Structure 1
Amino acid sequence: MEGFIHSSSIMMHFSKLPDPRKARNQLDSLHDIISTSILAMLCGQDDYMGFSLWTQMNLDWLQSVNICKYGAPSHDTYERFFAFLNPHSFRTCFMQWTQSIAQAFGGDSIAIDGKTLCGSGNKTIDPIHMVSAFASEQSLVLGHLKCSGKGKELETIQSLLTILNIKGVFVTIDAAGCHKIVVEQICSQGGDYVIALKGNQGHLHAEAHNFFEQAQNVIPEEASCDYWRSEKCTRGRSEIREVWATEKLDWLPQRQIWKKLHSLICVKVQKKSQERNSCEIRYFISSLPANTERLAKEVRNHWSIENKLHWQLDVNFREDLSRVRKGNGAENLSIARRATLNLLQKDKTSKVSLRKRRFIASCRKDYLLDLVNAKEILHA
């Protein structure tokens, strides 16, 4: 790869991609297609036609920095390229880049959860379901894998953990990952866990329910529980969050079969507003001590994957509205979206929303170059 993009960390990693096209079909280089796709997506374009139009509108500037010297690729070129590109190779480059920047930022909490790309399926094709690992404190996607469908995430979670460095890290997973083999894998890789309990672990869930139902009727000390409570009121809505946790598990029959099981946790959330009131109680297992304030933070950090990743992909990148289904296109575009989201989240100088950051990038080339860490070409 050549030009200013060569100095960009993300493009240095993507330069290792094998080109899926035959040599005679390579008028537009891999460098041109990948760099313009990411730049166009940073500027608010979410599909092949948008990539091509953005490249046409910015062709003079792109050619001044040694990109697209033969003209803008057509939308068909983008479509064919992403349809044939090997998603495993694309994902590997992405994960090498994200883990390199994650090390620079630090952080000690990873949330794992799945999301279905609703528009990637139809009557004859099942939609793609992606399982992502999200660094909660840094708001960065560390990696993701496609699984065979919603409700079939267990093997994918195991595979994703295998390719992540989780030593000294707290891993949070919803009930889809509540399995002994997942717990054993996290511990064997040097991590700790906070995992949600639901009916898929019937006896353990029932034991937790029975214990905390009684614990809530006495003072925490009498139930051998640590206790934490917070209350927030904003705009006519109130939320009371209570957390109980216990390390006294001698009574629990399953304590020996769950590796490093250190505490059981109950989280009760009561919400009140003019429209409605609600109360939700959830149970968790953890290898962490029964420090409820810290455990409450880890549980809340897990839901950042919904707010800072899944919501952003659907609202700002319109992922669920995408109708790309040809070849590997849907999976590869999902990787590109997550790479772009990481670039936007990595910018700690802007205090505006991601939608507005994309708008600024479309208007200001210096800010666009800052996002890909390549501003130095302005002075080259």
Structure 2
Amino acid sequence: MARQIDQDDVVSILDYFQELDDPRCHINRKHLLGDLLVICVLAVIAGADGPRSIAVWANAHADWLKKRLELPAGIPSHDTIGRLLALLKPDAFQQCFDQWLLAMREKATTQDDARELIAIDGKVLRRSHDRKRGIGPLCLVSAWAVRSGISLGQMAAGDKSNEIAVFPEFIEQINVRKAIVTLDAAGCQREVAAKIIDGEGDFVLALKGNQETLHNHVRDYIVTHMENDFAHVKSQKHEEESKGHGRIDKLVYYQMSWPKQLPDRDRWPGARTIGVAIRMSEENGRHTSDVRYYISSLRLGVKQFASAVRGHWGIENTLHWSLDVTFREDDSRVRNRFAAENLAWLKRMAISLIKQQKSKESIVMRRRMAGWNVNFLAEIIGLPTT
């Protein structure tokens, strides 16, 4: 379990706005950049999902904000907020938080020398398309630190078909040192493996059709030896069972060294092991199963392999689920690409901050509480509550 971060650790986020260049024209510039960004962060945590709702929230809490921010020209309009989000270059916006994110990861220590798990995956903002301009929906590749509960960054892929090309470049922008990085089949690329190894991390990559030959070799090898319970090869097995919401999942993992008769090992930097995860589920009397094969740079140690595979599901079950259900990201109709990316980053940062707040409540409930109680909201971001 990750240690929850004290509020003294979170307050430093406000300092990092100082490193961001103001993209607005200096003529008739009435509002401070830091004030605008703090308002955006607070409003998104409290339930806002676009420039207009951010401005409505700010006006509703004008007296409270004036005690904590300078606001030389009062509360900004939604047009002012919208223009800022459309002008801020997403890369620069994220970079000003890099050191803060690194500090949060370093402070979120784990038990038993457990390594950080970084799950990387793509997500499509389904309603962000603009048919009149021939622009498809925006696809964002995100990195999620599973144990720390922190979003490490994002990169626009244009559309889902382009995310494959984005993965290697994206990995260069995040710190993977000592971490175990997991990707689905779209990220199973030799260049991706090389970038992770160069960054002093380890990888667990899912196999599928994009590496069809290797996938078939790994599948056939494992299935053949599974028939005699791996009597002739050294392997490790781990089983788990989970229950929740009327569903029972039984998970079985096998891991073994990369066999000499399998081709292409030399073409995969750092590759050491192969593995399989078998999930058998029962819900309302209906049985389903799912089998996934993997290549990895991890040494033999099936519990660590299982933890990495299970951790990758965290980006779907924690980050993407929260973005869709709690932050309603798929409903966003923001057309400007910079604004859409910046709002997406604000939402990911908001989830990271909410998860650091000490509470037994769910992310959904904590966000509602932030919308109901400005003092609770202040605690999340590290502002004074009085």
TM-score range, shorter chain: over 0.9
**Cα distance, 1:263 vs. partner?**
0.8
Please, which of 77, 90, 94 is the counterpart of residue 93 of structure 2?
Answer: 90
Please, which of 114, 122, 126 is the counterpart of residue 118 of structure 1?
Answer: 126
Moved more, 114-123 or 227-236: 227-236
User: Contact 2:30–2:72 (CA<8 Å) still a contact in 1?
Assistant: no
- In structure 1, C-alpha distance between the alignment counterparts of 2:100 and 2:127, rounded to whole Å: 28
- In structure 1, C-alpha distance between the alignment counterparts of 2:243 and 2:375, rounded to whole Å: 41
User: Contact 2:225–2:231 (CA<8 Å) still a contact in 1?
Assistant: no
Please state whether the residue corresponding to 1:253 is helix, strand or coil.
coil
Moved more, 248-257 or 79-88: 248-257
Please, which of 4, 8, 27 is the counterpart of residue 24 of structure 1?
Answer: 27
TM-score by length of 2: 0.91
Aligned to 1:3: none
What runs of 5+ residues in structure 1 fail to find an aligned partner? 1-6
Aligned to 2:11: 8
Aligned to 2:284: 274
**Cα distance, 1:89 vs. partner?**
1.1
Please state whether the residue corresponding to 1:38 is helix, strand or coil.
helix
- In structure 2, C-alpha distance between the alignment counterparts of 1:302 and 1:231, rounded to whole Å: 17
Moved more, 228-237 or 73-82: 228-237
- In structure 1, C-alpha distance between the alignment counterparts of 2:201 and 2:84, rounded to whole Å: 38
Please state whether the residue corresponding to 1:8 is helix, strand or coil.
helix
Please state whether the residue corresponding to 1:239 is helix, strand or coil.
strand
- In structure 1, C-alpha distance between the alignment counterparts of 2:194 and 2:245, rounded to whole Å: 44
CA offset digits 1:161-204 (Å, max 9, x no partner): 11222121111111111111111121122111110000111111
Q: Aligned ranges for residues 137-148 of structure 1 at < 5 Å?
A: 137-148=147-158
Aligned residues: 370
Q: Quick check: 1:59 aligned with 2:62?
A: yes
Please state whether the residue corresponding to 2:306 is helix, strand or coil.
helix
Please state whether the residue corresponding to 1:360 is helix, strand or coil.
helix
Q: Quick check: 1:179 aligned with 2:189?
A: yes
What runs of 5+ residues in structure 2 fail to find an aligned partner? 1-9, 110-114
Aligned to 1:229: 239
- In structure 2, C-alpha distance between the alignment counterparts of 1:333 and 1:90, rounded to whole Å: 11
User: Contact 1:94–1:339 (CA<8 Å) still a contact in 2?
Assistant: no
TM-score by length of 1: 0.92
- In structure 2, C-alpha distance between the alignment counterparts of 1:52 and 1:248, rounded to whole Å: 56
User: Quick one: percent identity of the two aligned structures?
Assistant: 33
Q: 1:327 to 1:300 in 2, by over 3 A?
A: closer
Aligned to 2:226: 216
Aligned to 1:4: none
Q: Aligned ranges for residues 1-380 of structure 1 at < 5 Å?
A: 8-106=11-109, 107-123=115-131, 124-234=134-244, 236-247=246-257, 249-326=259-336, 328-347=338-357, 349-375=358-384, 378=386
CA offset digits 1:296-348 (Å, max 9, x no partner): 1110001101111111111111111010113521011111111111110111x
Please state whether the residue corresponding to 1:165 is helix, strand or coil.
coil
Return the letter of the residue paired with 1:56: N
**Cα distance, 1:250 vs. partner?**
1.3
